[in-house]
């Protein structure tokens, strides 16, 4: 089966549910330049083949792409042809479908949200509006160069349609404007050029039809002509977001980055995920953890110091054929850890006011003398908590359920980064081990709390943002406040 799929206009959130579903079952994904890279995360197990086209540079000719679809499908594979926008709006999806039909191969079309409508909407420009525009046309700005002459009926379309939307027309903008004016369109008609529409680096330039060729804007961009352009002044929304235009680096582990990334994207930020750590089994391959679980009922208290510790603890618990009924009293270092416990049906008996080891130890001071305590944590961590509990008279066992190790370095253009976020001391230390400290002296940083801030300061870096509430939500709020001011 071959699925001809529209990836939408650029914002990965505009991908349809059906498109996501077929990407998840795909064996092969053949994708173009305008598909948002994060969309490819839905097809992690598929073979990915890039066939994108840029002005004057084609990875493969269209005939070769057609044949590639056939060749891959004949291997009894589920093939997804992923295109920016919609496959049937200047996406050459019709040609690919016809070639599949000629070769007796089954296919399905999954429409995408075309940039012709989505991009103007993100710029605050409706393509129709009561009393202002009752019609719109979507026109190619890049006709087949082998045609002897234009097949666009300029004489009629120039004045018969209220809103004109040209796709892929930046290179031919002078000719488009000339044709429209020659055929009766008022040179003072409002016009807009929108580059990278629906994405955090969207650029919108408002001009007039006559002045549009003077615009300094590069492809990929769309060109809109019509009175509806004037509505942007009132309807602008996307580029009004508080973090719009800010490029923020997220250093969390890849499996945990999504919550912080999503929250920052919702505020308009361009988020670059650069994980500096990953979660791995402890060096003893769970030997100490398994001993602790076998003797779980002997512990009066189990203390969790991170959401990772909770997750890995319950993974081992399941392997031993146990569940939450094996636990006695439970303490969590903070709200995120407590929330992770609640996912397993556990309500923490103790969650300190301040989400740090010192505060947790203080909360337990009068409850743990002569008690057996298990601390389920990372292999390497601060010793404040076990040392404090021992000083209170507790019998403390520390069992590592995971360890934090450096992630593979990514290629990052630090010159374009506005802010670097850190959610733990280990993200700071591993970032500096991988990339050095110089970037942190030139780029503002944000820390999730005082302990992470102290680690930055140890390397001579003062974070400009420190969360008062030591959670992802708390970090997002102070970032929002910082840029809001």
- pLDDT band (50, 70, 90) for residue 57: low
pLDDT at 140 over 60: yes
Lowest-confidence region among 239-243, 275-279, 411-415, 475-479: 275-279
371 Cβ neighbours under 8 A, 6+ residues apart: 300, 301, 394, 395
* Opening angle at CA 143, ends 138 and 149, nearest 5: 120
Can you tell me the mean pLDDT for 310-333?
A: 93
In the chain, CATH 3.40.1010.10 covers: 2-112
- Both tokens of 441, joined, read 């002296």
pLDDT at 186: 98
Residue range(s) in the chain whose domain bears CATH number 3.40.50.10090: 247-276+407-484, 281-405
Provide the pLDDT for residue 191: 98
Instruction: pLDDT band for 68, please (50, 70, 90 cuts).
Output: very high
Please give the CATH topology (third level) of the domain spanning 247-276+407-484.
Answer: Rossmann fold (3.40.50)
What is the percent of the chain where pLDDT is above 90? 80
2-112: CATH homologous superfamily?
Tetrapyrrole methylase, N-terminal domain (3.40.1010.10)
Contacts of 225 (CB under 8 A, 6+ apart): 163, 164, 166, 180, 185, 189, 190, 191, 209
Which stretches does DSSP call E strand in 13-155? Answer: 28-31, 47-50, 53-54, 57-58, 79-83, 107-110, 136-140
Q: Where does the chain hold its CATH 3.30.950.10 domain(s)?
A: 117-239
Residue 353: pLDDT band with limits 50, 70, 90 = confident
Active site residues: 32, 53, 168
Identify the residue with better confidence: 142 or 78: 78
pLDDT at 258: 82
Separation between Cα atoms, residue 160 and residue 473, nearest integer Å: 51
- What is the CATH number that goes with domain 117-239? 3.30.950.10
CATH 3.40.50.10090 fits 281-405, yes or no: yes
Q: What is the pTM of this model?
A: 0.81
In tens, the pLDDT along 11-27 reads 999 999 999 999 999 99
pLDDT score at 144: 64
- pLDDT value at residue 58: 63
- What value does the mean pLDDT of the chain take? 93
- State the pLDDT at residue 55: 56
142-161 confidence digits (pLDDT tens): 876 566 678 899 999 999 99
């Amino acid at each position: 089966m071959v699925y001809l799929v529209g990836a939408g206009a650029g914002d990965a959130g505009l991908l349809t549910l059906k498109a996501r579903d077929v990407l998840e079952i795909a064996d092969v994904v053949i994708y173009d330049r305008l598909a948002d890279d994060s969309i490819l995360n839905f097809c992690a197990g598929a073979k990915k083949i890039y066939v994108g086209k840029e002005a004057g540079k084609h990875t493969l000719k269209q005939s070769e792409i057609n044949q590639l679809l056939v060749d891959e499908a004949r291997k009894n594979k589920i093939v997804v042809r992923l295109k920016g926008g919609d496959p049937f709006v200047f996406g050459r999806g019709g040609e690919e479908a016809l070639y599949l039909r000629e070769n007796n191969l089954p296919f399905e079309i999954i429409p995408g949200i075309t940039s012709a409508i989505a991009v103007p909407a993100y710029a605050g420009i409706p393509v129709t509006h009561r009393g202002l525009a009752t019609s719109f046309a979507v026109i190619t700005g890049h006709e087949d160069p082998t045609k002897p002459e234009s097949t666009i009926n300029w004489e009629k379309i120039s004045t018969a349609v209220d809103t004109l939307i040209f796709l892929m027309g930046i290179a031919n903008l002078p000719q488009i404007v000339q044709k429209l004016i020659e055929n009766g369109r008022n040179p003072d008609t409002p016009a807009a050029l929108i580059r990278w529409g629906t994405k955090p680096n969207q650029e919108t330039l408002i001009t007039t039809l006559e002045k549009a060729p003077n615009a300094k804007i590069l492809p990929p961009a769309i060109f809109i002509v019509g009175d509806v352009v004037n509505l942007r002044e009132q309807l602008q929304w996307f580029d009004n977001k508080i973090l719009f235009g800010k490029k923020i680096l997220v250093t969390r582990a890849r499996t945990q980055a999504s919550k912080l990334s999503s929250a920052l994207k919702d505020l308009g930020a361009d988020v670059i995920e650069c994980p500096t750590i990953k979660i791995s089994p402890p060096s003893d391959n769970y030997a100490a953890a398994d001993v602790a679980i076998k003797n779980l009922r002997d512990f009066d208290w189990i203390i969790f110091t991170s959401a990772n510790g909770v997750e890995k603890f319950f993974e081992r618990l399941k392997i031993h054929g146990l569940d939450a009924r094996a636990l006695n009293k439970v303490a969590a270092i903070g709200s995120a850890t407590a929330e992770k416990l609640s996912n397993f049906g556990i309500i923490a008996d103790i969650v300190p006011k301040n989400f740090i080891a010192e505060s947790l130890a203080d909360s337990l001071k009068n409850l743990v003398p002569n008690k057996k305590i298990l601390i389920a944590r990372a292999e390497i961590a601060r010793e404040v908590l076990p040392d404090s509990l021992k000083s209170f008279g507790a019998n403390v066992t520390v069992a590592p359920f995971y360890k934090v190790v450096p992630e593979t370095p990514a290629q990052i253009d630090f010159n374009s980064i506005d802010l670097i976020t850190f959610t733990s001391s280990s993200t700071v230390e591993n970032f500096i081990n991988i990339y050095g400290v110089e970037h942190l002296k030139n780029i503002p940083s944000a820390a999730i709390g005082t302990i992470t801030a102290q680690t930055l300061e140890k390397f001579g870096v003062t974070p400009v943002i420190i969360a008062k509430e030591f959670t992802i939500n708390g970090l997002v709020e102070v970032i929002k406040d910082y840029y809001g001011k």
